[in-house]
Structure formats: structure tokens, C-alpha cells
Structure 1
Amino acid sequence: MGDTGASGPVMDRDEVDRALARLGAEHEAIETSLFALQDHAGRRLLEGAGLTGETKERWQATEESITLLWSYFDAYTGALRSAREIRARRRWSSREDLAELTELLRGECVTVSGGSLLGERFTLAALVDRMNELYARSLDMVVAADAVWSALPARIDLLAAELRRTRELAHSVGVRPGEHPAGDDLERITRTLTRLREEVVSDPLAYWIPAEGSSAPGGGRPDTTVYDREARALEDVRREIDAVLTVRQDAEQRLIRLRDVLSRADRTLAEARTARGEVLAKIAATEVPVVSGPPTALQEQLATAAEYRRNAQWHRLSPLLESLEEKAEDELLRARESLTAVTAPLAVRAELRGRLDAYKAKVARHGLAEDPELVEKYDAARRMLWSAPCDLRVAEQAVLRYQRAAAELLGSAPRVPGQGGPQDSQDRQEQRGPGT
């Protein structure tokens, strides 16, 4: 086994040389990492920033950790230098040298000369582990802050520039705070972006979302929730302003179309009122719906829209035109439905007249037009349908009586030679009447 000491078995020369080579490589890697941390852009920004909140607290702790790291590294460097000097005394180290090296390389013989841990002793391996832990924690904080500063302020500035352009455009079409919801939205977005940028600059870690389970330095992403929300809000406002701009471009044509639609609705209602008078005079024992007058409220709103256009109040004209266009189409549809409802009795009378004449023509084709019963029933139905006022219910019964009499007579009449085929099939179908 060989001699033993406080640090266990005494190392031989090969073990010492291998340990020194490993420790030298670790020393070089640690030194490189510490200088990289020292030169990191995020660390330089943190040193010069007026920090607040979580970032301020964590940076104070990180600065202490970085200072302690250098103290650890100096102690590590000193221990490694001492070990190398002992090993360099002679080519073949004596047993006493090897025992001293074993104690230095494996024992708790490294004393930190600064910080709150002054006088605490470490092994070189424990000191490396401690430095790795402090370095990872410090780098994580620096990288996270730098990532937020690299991502969010520039994006906020771009959005703020777009916001300024949108506000100028809004002002040009009369969209102002207190007068239009979009103007109020622009003011709110402006305040939010200003506050967001200030907070991101002074407390970047408040806008950092660590990645769960990630051990990589700075594992995570910037929290863009507020930024994304305001970007969407600005896009919505921009669409509203674009709509107002569109109104400014085609307002006159839209007003002309509105006047035309409302004019057609008025003419249709006037036609319905005239038709109602005709129906009341010509049709008896039926209810005819009342026809309303022209919509004065829409005409007043149309006049208001024209006034908005003359005064370039585009932000007010835009929603009014959209509302008027919908209401005008509804009014035209209502007028057409009113005309249809009013003239329905006349349509019924026309249908009965057409049915009566169709049966008379069919009877004549069969040479039965002079039948006394048919002539009597036809004249009775015709007097009812061509006299005013016409009782539609009584007239319909008269037409049905004529239709049934004709059907019975046609059914008993002998077939005229040469008149078979499709015409007879049509006659038989018509004899069944419209109710079958």
C-alpha cells in the first residue's frame, strides 16, 4: 500500500504528475471562463444600469459571487503554484516531497484569503466544484438579463415607432383621445409601452421565464406577454383607422348608393300604399295590412352622414355609414315584403280568373261551350271576379262549381274520333282540379 498520511495513501510520482496535469487543465479552463464572464456584454450592462426590483437584488448577490469566484481562483492558483514548485525541486521527488504533494493535492489545505469565508479550508477538488457552482449561477443571471435586453427593448422601440406613425395618421382623420375609442386606445398603448420599456431596462429579470428542467446558462426565454398584447391592440387600431381612411376615399359613392336604396324603398312603399287603396276598392271581405310611411329617422341619419362628410369627421362617418347601409337594405326588404302582402288578394283574384278562363277554353275544345249549365256557372263566376268589390271566398266557390260541372260533363262526353292521345291525358289531369 505504501505510506499513508492525513490525506490517505501517499501518491507516487506518476499519480502526482497526472493530478498536476489535470489541475492545470482545469485551471486554464476556469481562468478562460472567468475572463469570458468578466467581458460578457450583459455583465457590463448590469454594472452600468440603474437596476430595480428582482434584477437589482440578484445582481447584488451575483457581484458578490463573482468577487468570491476570483478569491477562490486566486487560492486555487496559489495552491497549484506551490504544488508545481515542490514537484520541480528534483526530477525524482523524495518521499517527503510526495507526502507534502499528496497533502496539498488531496487534503484540505487551500485557505480562501478573502470574503465571508475567510479562513475556511477546501480541497482542490471541492474548490473546483464550488467555483463551478458559483460560475453557473452567476452566468445564468447575466445571460438571462442580456437575453431580455437583446430582445425586448429593440422590439418595443420598433413598435413605438409604428405607434407614432399610427397616431399621426389617426390625427389626420380626426381620431383623437376623448372623441373616438381608437384615440383612447392609442393613448393607453403609448403609456403601456413607455412603462414597459422602463421596466425592461431597469428590471429585465422580471420579464424572464426560466426553462423548466434546463441546466444550460440562461435557459429560458423573454416574457413577451405584455408586448404581444399591445402589438395586437395597435394592429386593431390600425385596422380601424384604415377603415376610416377607406371611408374618406369612397364616402361620396356610398352616400349616393344609400340615397338610391332609400329612394327605392320609398317608391316601393308608395306603390304599396296605392295598391292598398286599389285592393280595398276592388276586393271585399278581406284584411289588407297597413302600409307604414317612409322612415324619417333614416333620412335624418343620412343627412347627419352628409354633414360629417362635409366637415371631414371621418371617424364619426365610418360607423354611421356601416349602420345606415345595413338599415337601408333592411328597409328596402321590408318595403318589398309590404308590397307583396298588400297585393296578395289581387294575385289571388288573377289566379282565379286565369283558372276560370283555362277551363272555359278546355270545354270549348270539346265542343261543350254552349252547355246551358256551364254557361250559367261561368257567367256567375265571371260576374263575381270582374266586379268590384270582389268577395274572393265567394268567387273561389263559384270557380270551383264551374270546374266540377265541367269535369263531370267532360267525363261523360263521348270521345271525338281522332282526339285521343296526349291531349286526352291532359284533359283528364285538368278534370281532377287543382286541389287533387
Structure 2
Amino acid sequence: MVAPTLEQIDATLARLSAAVAAQAAILMELESTPGRALIDPERLTGATCERATTALAALADAWNCYRTLTELLTAARAVRGDKVRVDARVTAELDALLHGPTAVPVLPGAPAGSPPPAVGIRPTELADRTDAALGSVRATIDEILAAWSRLLAILSATEGQLATADELAARLRLGDDAGRTVARRLLAELSDLTAADPLAVPDSLVTRLEAAVSTAQAGLDELARRHDTLPQALRVAAALLERIAALIDRAATDADRARSRILLPATQLPRMPAGVLDDERHGLRTWLDRLTAAAAAGRWKEASRGLDRWRELADATLISARRFADRSAAPLQTRDDLRGLLGGWHAKAAGLGVVEDPDLAQAYRHARSVLYTAPTDLDRATALVRAFGAAVDRRAAAGDGDPVPEAEAEVEVEVEADPVGARPDRGRETDRT
């Protein structure tokens, strides 16, 4: 084997010196960084403890290799000196120190998991072994620190959310609930595991915690909405109650008017059930009064939930009240519609100039007499009005009669519409409303 030149030896010595200087800086950084405390196996458990133990063993090996390499380089510099030329013996000694195999002594009390002792390892390989150990230690610290940072951020955010939820619960005068109790238990579990074994924290635990906090917050938000909107909800309910009461009153009034003015079967206009508003137990008004009193006494949850059920019944009652009101108003509306229809056909007859035709005049008087006599027989009135209208349409289709000027037709209609005075035989017509 050809012996290296002095230039080659000096180059190797420079490279190894630079490597040792860089390793010294990394070792000092690792020992002084706050992350160094994160790999203390005494405070860790599980997977994180195993990784930390392995990292400490690698760090100890890095120090051992660094010291061995430093001692070797110190010896080599002493042999090399500062001479420009050296003899073959010095060159051979430097070659043995810088290129030959060396042994790394075994550390007393080496940590578990330490690499096996190095025997017959060259200085450049020793430098590579130190670099690898330092890289492993740094990667482990970075991994544990990243896990801790992520989990501490989650813990901090969750604690803030629960604190906000507790403040809201205090404002609503609520005690602990199952949702927040579960969230706190999961928070404590995550906190303990984060402190002892952050690398082993399962994603499912974080997911369960976030879901529990979200559920608890959503429940409180709904309760806060109910609490804050309850006064307005009670006012809206009171307005709805008044609408229902007004419809019931209108239906009763229209039904009474219809019974006195329209000839109806006894069962055609049924009334709303008695007590729908004021029944002691189930009346809408008495129930709403109880809910209002409960809210005033601070029992807002009871009042809010009761108001939901009250609203269901009130909405159904509103539909029924409208239906009864429409049915009660229908007979009088039908009568009024027939009166309007009769007046329209009479105006048409006047426009055709056939309003004085004896048959048409008789049909008109007959229909009008029934429509303006109380109680009105709607079935009979309907048939008579239709018969009069059909007769007018037939005369119009046949082209009978001469058109009457519009002004004259209006005068004639106005006279015909007055049942009093102009037609003495209309004295029996008693219902004009």
C-alpha cells in the first residue's frame, strides 16, 4: 500500500478538525436547548419513553465518539507539529492515527440501548457515526416537540372553549351537564397522556374530545337562544292567541247572523269546542298564562319547552279556527254573491232593453224576493237566480230587444235595486243585509 503524502495527511487532519468543530457546536446546542428536557425518561412513559431512552443512548455515544476523535486529533496535531517537512517515521505515525483503525472505549454505566462498542473503526467512520447519532437525537427531540406543540395547542383551545361554555352556563344559571362533564374527562385524559407519552396519543382521543366540546357548546348555544328569545317568543304567542280568539269570535258572530238570516240545517254551522281557550287544564289562554308565570319565576327552560308544545296546539287550533270562520261566513257570502249576480244579470237585461219583459220582470222579482227575505233559502234562491240569468242569456242570444243607452240603463237598475217605495209589493222583503 502506498503511504500517503504529507499534503494528504494535512487534508485529512483539516477535514476531521472541521467535523469535530461542527459536532461540538451541535452537542452544545442539544445539551442547552429546552427540548433536551423533553427526552428525560424519568417523566415519560410508553412509546415516548422508549424513543427518549434510545435518543439519550445515541447522545451518550455521540459524546463518547466525539471525545475519542478529539483525543485522536490532539495526538495527531502533536505529532505533526508545524514543520514544513517530516521524516518517514512521522508520516507513518500520522497515517496510523488518521487513517488506521481505532477503538472507542465502552462508557461506564452506558444507557440501555447504547450502540455496541466500536473496535477497529477508522476516524472518518467515527466522525460519520457521531453525525448519525446527533441526527437521530435531533430528529427525536423535534418529533416529540412537534407532538407536544400540536397537543398543547389543542389542550389550550379546548380549555378556552370549556371556560367560555362555563361562563355561558353561569349566565344561564345552569349547573354541570353531561356534555361538559364528558368533555372535561376527555380533556384530563388527553392532558395526562400529552405530558407522559405524546407520541402515543391516538387521533381518536382528540376527535372524541373535539366532538364532546362541540356538542356541549351547541347544547348551551341552543339553551342560550331559548333563554334570550323567550320574552319575545311569549309576546308572539300572546299575539297568536289573540288572532285565534278573534277568529273564534268572528266565527261565532257570523254563525249567529247566518242562523238568523239564512235557512240552514241545524248542524251546518258547528261551533269551536267549548273551553279551547279557557279550559282550566288544556285551554290555550290558561296554559300560556302558566308558561308566562314560570318564565317570570326563573323557570325559563320549563317555560321554553312548554311553549314549543303550546305552539303546536296553537297552530293546529289556528287552522281549525280559520276553517270554522270560513264556514260560518260562507252562507252570508253566498247570499251576497247571489245578490250581486242577480244585479249583474238585471243590468244586462236593462242594457238589452228587455228588463220590462213580463216574464223576465216576474222572474227577477221572484228571485229578488227570496234573496231579500229572511231567513233566505239559499238553494231556492240559487235556482231562481240561475233561471233568471239563463233567461236573460237566451234573450241576448236570440237578439231580442233594442240596446238601451247606458245612462238610462243605470237609472233603471238603480230603481230596481231599491226594494222600498218604488215597488209596494216588496213590503215582505225584510233582510237587506
Cα gap change, 1:17/1:39 in structure 2, threshold over 3 Å: closer, same or farther? Answer: same
Distance 1:267 1:374 in 2: 44
TM-score by length of 1: 0.76
1:134 is matched with which residue?
A: 133
Deviations 1:399-434 (A, max 9, x none): 232222112223413555977xxx9xxxxxxxxxxx
Q: Among 155, 174, 179, which residue is 1:185 paired with?
A: 179
Q: How does 1:254-333 map to 2 (within 5 A)?
A: 254-276=233-255, 278-279=257-258, 282-284=262-264, 288=268, 290-293=270-273, 294=276, 296=282, 298-299=284-285, 301-325=287-311, 328-329=314-315, 331-333=317-319
Residue 360 of structure 1, CA deviation: 0.7
User: Structure 2 matches for 1:99-118, cutoff 5 A?
Assistant: 99-114=92-107, 115=110, 117-118=116-117
CA distance in 2, matches of 1:134, 1:42: 16
Is residue 346 from structure 1 mapped to residue 346 from structure 2 by the alignment?
A: no
2:196 aligned with 1:202, yes or no?
yes
What SS does the aligned partner of 1:111 have?
coil
CA-CA distance at 1:71 after TM superposition = 1.6
Q: Say yes or no: does 1:120 pair with 2:113.
A: no
* 1:413 counterpart residue number: 400
Alignment CA distance shift 1:36-1:233 (3 Å): farther
Alignment check: 8 A CA contact 2:38 2:141 kept: no
Determine if contact 2:16/2:127 at 8 Å carries over to the other structure.
no
Query: How big is each residue's C-alpha offset from its partner over 1:159-206, in whole Å with a ceiling of 9 and x where there is no partner?
Result: 4355345435424533224xxxxx222222222222222221222223
**Contact between 1:153 and 1:201, CA under 8 Å: does it hold in 2?**
no
CA contact (8 A) 2:68 2:104 kept: yes
Distance 1:417 1:333 in 2: 50
Contact in 1 for aligned 2:30/2:138 (Cα 8 Å): yes
Aligned counterparts, 1:29-48, within 5 A: 29-47=22-40
Q: Are residues 204 and 382 of structure 1, via their aligned partners in 2, closer, same or farther at CA, if it must alter by over 3 Å? A: same
Residue 63 of structure 2 aligns with which residue? Answer: 70
Q: How many residues align?
A: 393
Q: Which amino acid aligns with 2:74?
A: R
Q: Aligned residue for 2:145?
A: 146
Structure 2 Cα separation of the partners of residues 317 and 225 of structure 1: 35
Q: Is residue 381 of structure 1 aligned with residue 367 of structure 2?
A: yes
How far the C-alpha of 1:355 sits from its partner, in A, is 0.9
For the 8 Å contact 1:272–1:339, the answer to whether it is kept is: yes
Is the contact made by 2:338 and 2:382 (CA closer than 8 Å) also made in structure 1? yes
Distance between the aligned counterparts of 1:341 and 1:80, measured in 2?
A: 112
Distance 1:257 1:96, change over 3 A: same
Q: Output the CA distance in 1 between the equivalents of 2:165 and 2:35.
A: 33
Can you list the C-alpha shifts for 1:366-406, whole angstroms capped at 9, x where unaligned? 43221112123223433444456656555434323222211
Counterpart of 2:136, as a letter, is R
**CA drift at 1:290:** 4.5
Query: Judging changes above 3 Å, is the alpha-carbon distance between structure 1 residues 261 and 351 closer, same or farther for their aligned structure 2 residues?
Result: same
Contact 1:46–1:59, Cα closer than 8 Å, also in 2: yes
Q: Cα–Cα, structure 1 residues 400 and 102, in superposed 2: closer, same or farther, change >3 Å?
A: farther
Alignment RMSD: 3.6
Match of 2:225 in 1: 243
The correspondence of residues 2-21 of structure 1 with structure 2, limited to 5 A, is 4=1, 9-21=2-14
Output the amino acid matched with 1:40. T
Residues in 2 aligned to 1:331 and 1:110: alpha-carbon distance in whole angstroms: 98
1:94 and 2:94 correspond: no
Give the Cα separation in 2 of the matches to 1:106 and 1:333: 102
- Asked whether the equivalents of residues 36 and 141 of structure 2 are also in contact (C-alpha less than 8 Å), the reply is yes
Q: What displacement does 1:354 show? A: 0.8
How far, CA to CA, are the matches of 1:308 and 1:49 in structure 2?
Answer: 59
* Equivalent residues of 2:80, 2:90 under 8 A apart: yes
Which letter maps to 1:199? L
* Structure with the bigger percentage of strand: 1
Superposed, which structure 2 residues align to 1:16-27 within 5 Å?
16-27=9-20
- Please tell me whether the aligned partners of residues 98 and 123 of structure 2 are also in contact (alpha carbons under 8 angstroms): yes
> CA shift at 1:106, angstroms?
3.9
Give yes or no for contact 1:37–1:139 (8 Å, CA) kept in 2.
Answer: yes
1:302-325: per-residue Cα shift (whole Å, max 9, x none)?
244223223212233333345545
Deviation at 1:84, TM superposition (A): 2.9
The 3 A distance-change label for structure 1 pair 20 and 341 is farther
**8 Å CA contact retained: 2:180, 2:212:** no
- Whether contact under 8 Å (1:374, 1:406) holds in the other structure is yes
Amino acid at match of 2:291: A
The corresponding residue for 1:363 is: 349
The verdict on how the C-alpha distance between 1:107 and 1:301 changes in structure 2, with shifts beyond 3 A counting, is farther
Query: Which runs of 5 or more residues in structure 2 are unaligned?
Result: 411-433
Identity over the aligned pairs, expressed in percent? Answer: 24
